[in-house]
Structure 1
């Protein structure tokens, strides 16, 4: 009853204008009184909670060794052929200037200006071509503060040297400078994501517009979903902005970028589910209002269920312990919820206002209307519509006549791709996802070439010696993966706490180095235990970026183990309630999960074998899973809803054939658009988004062209009436699908 009345409530003769006006007022008022989500970005929010070992160690380091605490910006100076005395003089003047004129957020600064030139030169690389100036920012400094500080350094350097060394080429024999280290990485990360926002929005809008024009060849129809997405974003942005202002949520530029893509992709899908049904009914119903009400009645359940499935799946991310994942939950789920509401209210109102004109110049008409119109327009619309149905009809025939063959072929293909996912290598190294010409990565390359890469991110190992003599330096110098160990230092407040800085002889951001953190901890605890100190695990702390990345890896693994089963369970419950079939719920879930692993396997071929990446970011599998399982079920829901409905009035074979034919066009269109929007991420310079975009786009295409049109209907055909268990079909025919096709 509710679905029958919805059309009149939102798209009636008068209510269509009221609906449009309400949306305009809501978006206008919210945008006027609340800040947009982009204004409330916080890109330096902590990803690890206070209970993680590296965070605890960081607090110990800050308390006991404050002169060395803070966020280091490593300014890497380089001149091929060797740095000159003038270069060192300029570096000393730069150090002296900022010792007297500190920038906002500035912390410790080594007194290089007070060192004799020979002493300073001894700290350069072996060939004398590179020198690192550590510039510390306070731990509370955000990326904007650090960026402002490095810009001040750049301006002063240009004044002192007469040219901008930060813009100089690294390989032309001139003095060059690059900002690397944690501060440089943070600045580059925020800059890359900030610059991506506008280009991503433009690219996504253009792609969706072009695809809609190519698929439907109607300018007005192509604009309608974009209008709906624009209104949804216009409502979601200030709501999220206000929530961030009140401190209820934290948003960052990465979340906003992906949220934009998700809105355009999923939002366009929901709009097309309604538009396609409206278009079909206009060919048999002369009254446009009745056609629209019927379309809304037929598609609103699937749209609402699809949207609710995605919202619930995304809300599960609130259970994540890793901050970047946890922060996705509310922005993503709220934006999809608003988009689903817009698809069920605003889009019908716009369609009611435009009527058949929405599809101009290929206006759908009833046979009688088409006969009257033939003299002016010919049969273009009818011929093309028939051709589109013909493709879906052929697939419907294949899956009902050869279901065993289809199931075997698709399972072999998807299974082979899924097996390839076990080859994937993962990393939590953010630096490797930057473009090679980003300053922080260029600076790291110089450090790795001229010094040892471990200097970029040493780890600080601290132990409570309880007053005993613990040979820390000797303990770690003997390890094969360590290049340098500093002299032990005593804590400021507790002299029993002794610390050494350990540098790896490998890339400290690599998984190889990160996985040595437990080894370092074991070595430190053993040294304490050998000295007779009890409970050494509680008296050992390791801080530094490699330690942080190790905790990140452990947290990601924990999140995946918790979130993935819960998402599967919740979606299974929703499908069970919607379909009232245990069997259908099981195979729909299993097909989408198989599609997910297949997407990972095929994605690894593109990312690793074709693009040459050594590893993918460790967060990608969890992100991709939530998106692909939730969005993949959208298409299954739309298809199965059609089959379930037709099963009430016809044999299952006919219901499957017609269901595949009826939904084929819209799901194909929606899948292409959704995959295209995620593929837009691959055009960005940030590898983590490139990899996520490729894998998710592949997964959507697999759902669109393999799972939905072939695998799901073939399984349904093979199961026959058991597909509805414990429910049953609305009518009983003499159908024995399992026996009928067992020898095919």
Structure 2
């Protein structure tokens, strides 16, 4: 089948047809459909609609409409103490906002209506800071919210005659302002990703180009994989944009940024495997079309299998309930599918068109061609002696000392994996942002001058219950409880605003959410109000973060077994060996945990990171398990084919020797592309990029090169179980005769 497909897409005539089809497809889709980048939606809900915090938000919107919304906290700060001029400026701005509200503004704390003594009581104890909340419509798009906040800044600059938003917050005797709170954080988060996918695209292209030039030492050959990836991107982007415009999927800056890395990393690998095999065939056959057909027959099956493995693993994210996971599924899997098709159609067609010239100046030739060139130049032809390479040394090692290799690799990976048990996770959004980001600076000022919980209070809503102010205030994590509010729409509903004494985005604060719910439920039950249709809801950023953790844990428990199961089925269907399938799954799992441990060693002990983002383990798992099996598939495929004609140990040795070079190069490229994420300004991408790059390197240099072939050598013919090896079948036929 693959031989026929190879002839169809890269024949003497059809090669041009293949190229024209890809060019036409890229142009038509790019012109007729919107680009994915134009359909980004960075404010999409991550929480499932059944999340308790979202249910609470809907109740709050209905019965306390003036209290619901997206708060922006304007932090007024002067190190030497706010003065009368500052208070007059606050009052002037407050009156402007009251008379001419910003777009999307729902309510605000009207400072101009407060008498001077009352206004001064709102200032922090040291007299340096005052926080002014402005509530916006929570359905606002980030760009609309950004325009409103910029309009607010313009008003303050005009009224003050200075720019307090650029003044450092520790500048003596100078007024500085920062906008924090959920609204400020949302705008800053959007700005962090502004043009990030384009910058990442350029950085990835340059990096891959440099690495390919170092590997091939051929300018033209280094460009061919980039052409394949470029066409794949040109087809993928409008398809994603079209689906997003139809409302079938949601794309955001983060998913597009990682998709770019995945497309270049995995796509270049597929091209690399094909081109390397083509080079080998060109050294055996002078006809490039015949060489391409054999290349297709030998390499296409493993490439297709690898592509489907990664694609199905990424599609498993569709069952996620947490939006950030679910939004990754279609962009990632579609990009892998199109890249796989490009590497099996467009790249062979380009190689058929260019031929051996693609490898210039190191053009591969058959021995006969080399001899003819030597004669034409009047030189004696001397066949090149085969040199013992590092790959050959590794191949010899894994078959002569497999037990020692297995023990050494297992101990090394096990030690690294042990550090994974020490990892501390965080769901603190602010900790992912740069320290000089305005909303983070504002939050840190609030935390120093007030309770850090002022940034995002917890709202407790109770139906048909007594006053719980005193009961809620007794919790040690509660710093303050505002006066109970009775709904004007339905007096059965009461609202309590709680200010915690901890960072509202921290694990410490998240643990308080179920405790507050239980305390309120027990108090209501004791009062007997529970018999009167009593309900309890908790809203706010901390409650939402608690739901994020709950959904993340749920998705991990569902997706991890699903991905393992899907990959196991594919491996068994391809290899027809249960033993090898189990070996490949277990070794990659060990490598994944070791990558987490190694990442923690670097981040925690090397850079002082206190915790990694809670979403990282599942992100890294899906990528490392799927991509890690890629290299195993290529290596095992080579061993299986060679085992048809030679003893198993010799097949292992030859398979490792033959595939080590190309897999090592592919692993370095893939790790390097993920490492590009380390340059991003948000920590969740930095941590994901580092851990994934480390995992790819462990798979490349430890699991694939040493552990898996050594295990196969140790097990011998049992590695084929339950199917029989070709040697066994041949032996049985001989005995039968």
Residue 512 of structure 2 corresponds to residue 513 of structure 1: no
- Corresponding residue of 1:75: 74
Contact 1:54–1:547 under 8 Å retained in 2: yes
Choose from 601, 621, 624 the match for 1:625. Answer: 621
Q: Which deviates more, 724-733 or 29-38? A: 724-733
**Are 1:362 and 1:381, in contact at CA under 8 Å, matched by a contact in 2?**
no
**Residue 366 of structure 1 aligns with which residue?**
366
| CA distance in 2 between partners of 1:537 and 1:288 (Å) | 80
Tell me the distance in 1 between the aligned counterparts of 2:56 and 2:491. Answer: 16
My pick for the range that moved more, 251-260 or 86-95, is 86-95
State the secondary structure of the residue aligned to 1:502: strand
Contact 1:54 1:542 in 2 (8 A): yes
Range with bigger deviation, 33-42 or 46-55 = 46-55
Find the residue that maps to 1:177 and give its secondary structure: strand
Aligned equivalents of 1:304 and 1:617: distance in 2? 33
Q: Quote the offset at 1:670 in angstroms.
A: 0.4
Change (3 A) 1:376 1:239: farther
1:378 Cα offset (Å): 10
Aligned equivalents of 1:341, 1:277: Cα separation in 2? 17
1:285-339 per-position Cα deviation (integer Å, ceiling 9, x unaligned): 1111111111111110000000000110000100000011001100110011000
Q: Check 1:188–1:535 CA distance in 2 against 1; reply closer, same or farther (3 A cut).
A: farther
- Give the match's secondary structure for 2:361: coil
Q: CA deviation at 1:584?
A: 0.8
1:72-471 equivalences in 2 (<5 Å): 72-173=71-172, 174-374=174-374, 390-466=389-465, 469-470=466-467
Cα distance in structure 1, aligned partners of 2:575 and 2:64: 61
Indicate the SS of the match to 2:66. helix
CA deviations 1:694-729 (Å, max 9, x no partner) are: 000000000000000100000000111111111111
1:166 counterpart SS class: coil
What are the equivalent positions in structure 2 for 1:721-732 lying under 5 Å apart?
721-732=717-728
Query: Are 1:676 and 2:672 matched, yes or no?
Result: yes
Give 1:530's aligned residue.
Answer: 526
Report the 3-state secondary structure (helix = DSSP H, G, I; strand = E; otherwise coil) of the residue aligned with 2:227: helix
Match of residue 495, structure 2, among 486, 499, 513: 499
1: distance between equivalents of 2:372 and 2:34? 54
Aligned residue in 1 for 2:7: 8
Shift of 1:87: 1.4
| Count of residues in correspondence between the two structures | 729
- Runs of at least 4 residues off by over 4 Å: 374-383, 535-538
For residues 526 and 586 of structure 1, do their structure 2 counterparts lie closer, same or farther at Cα, with a shift above 3 Å needed?
same
CA distance in 2 between counterparts of 1:331 and 1:492 reads: 46
* Cα offsets for 1:132-178 (capped at 9, x unmatched): 11111102112111111111111111111111111111111221111
d(CA) in 2 for partners of 1:20, 1:733? 44
Q: 1:97 Cα shift? A: 1.5
Could you tell me how far apart the structure 1 residues matched to 2:674 and 2:179 are? 32
Q: 1:667 aligns with which of 658, 663, 678?
A: 663
- Worse-superposed segment, 445-454 or 84-93: 84-93
Q: Residue by residue, what CA displacement relative to the aligned partner does 1:174-206 show, whole Å, maximum 9, x if unpaired?
A: 211111111111111111122422221111111
Instruction: State how far apart, in whole Å, the 2-side matches of 1:229 and 1:632 are.
Output: 20
Distance 1:581 1:157, change over 3 A: same
Shift in Å, 1:373: 3.5
In the alignment, what sits opposite 1:739? none
Q: Contact 2:180/2:438 (CA < 8 Å) preserved in 1?
A: yes
Q: Secondary structure at the match of 1:44?
A: coil
Query: What is the aligned partner in structure 1 of residue 709 from structure 2?
Result: 713
Q: 1:616–1:377: structure 2 CA closer, same or farther, 3 Å change rule?
A: farther
Contact 2:464 2:534 survives alignment (8 Å)? no
1:558 match: 554
TM-score normalised over the length of structure 2: 0.97
- After superposing the two structures, state which structure 1 stretch, 336-345 or 107-116, moved more: 107-116
**How far apart are residue 379 of structure 1 and its match?**
12
1:23, distance to aligned residue in structure 2 (A): 0.4
Deviation at 1:380, TM superposition (A): 14
Q: Give how far 1:492 is off.
A: 2.6
SS at 1:248's partner residue? Answer: coil
Pairwise CA distance, 1:103: 2.4
For residues 560-575 of structure 1, the aligned pairs below 5 Å read 560-575=556-571
How far off is 1:79 after superposition? 1.1
What residue in structure 2 maps to residue 589 of structure 1? Answer: 585
Give distance in 2, aligned partners of 1:194 and 1:495: 45
For 2:5 and 2:165, locate their aligned partners in 1 and report how far apart those are by CA, in whole Å: 61
Change (3 A) 1:140 1:379: farther
Mapped partners of 1:455, 1:49: distance in 2: 26
- In structure 2, relative to structure 1, the CA distance for the partners of 1:351 and 1:152 (3 Å cut) is same
Give the aligned CA root-mean-square deviation in angstroms: 1.9
Which residue does 2:735 correspond to in 1?
none
Instruction: Please say if residues 17 and 349 of structure 1, whose CA atoms lie closer than 8 Å, have aligned partners that are also in contact.
Output: yes
Question: After superposition, what is the alpha-carbon deviation per residue over 1:422-446, rounded to whole angstroms, capped at 9, x for unaligned?
Answer: 0001111111000000111101110
Provide structure 2 residue ranges, at least 5 long, that are not aligned to the other structure: 732-737
Question: For the residues of structure 2 that align with 1:50 and 1:284, how far apart are their CA atoms?
Answer: 61
| Secondary structure of 1:462's aligned partner | strand
Could you tell me which residue of structure 2 aligns to residue 55 of structure 1?
54
Q: Secondary structure at the match of 2:389?
A: helix
Distance 1:504 1:337 in 2: 48
1:658 matched residue in structure 2 = 654
Q: 1:696 aligns with which of 689, 692, 699?
A: 692
Task: Work out whether residues 644 and 726 of structure 2, in 8 Å CA contact, stay in contact via their aligned partners in 1.
Answer: yes
SS at match of 1:324: helix
Query: Secondary structure in 1 aligned to 2:284?
Result: coil
In the TM superposition, residue 102 of structure 1 has moved relative to its aligned partner by: 2.2
Give yes or no for contact 1:63–1:492 (8 Å, CA) kept in 2: no
Q: 1:386 to 1:482 in 2, by over 3 A?
A: farther
What is the distance in 1 between the residues matched to 2:206 and 2:222?
11
Q: Could you tell me which residue of structure 1 aligns to residue 63 of structure 2? A: 64
Question: Per the alignment, do residues 4 and 500 of structure 1 end up closer, same or farther by CA in structure 2, a change over 3 Å counting?
Answer: same
- TM (normalized to structure 1)? 0.96
Query: Which residue of 583, 597, 601 corresponds with 2:597?
Result: 601
For 1:645, which of 641, 666, 684 is the aligned residue? 641
Name the SS for the 1:484 alignment partner: strand
Give the corresponding residue for 1:541: 537
Question: Residues 10 and 19 of structure 1 are in contact (CA less than 8 Å); yes or no, is this contact kept in structure 2?
Answer: yes
Contact 2:371/2:381, CA 8 A, preserved across alignment: no
> Offset at 1:377?
13
Q: Structure 1: how far apart are the matches of 2:304 and 2:672?
A: 23
Partners in 2 of 1:368 and 1:87 — Cα distance? 88
Could you tell me whether the CA contact under 8 Å between 1:521 and 1:542 is conserved in 2?
A: yes
Q: Which sections of structure 1, spanning at least 5 residues, go unmatched?
A: 736-744
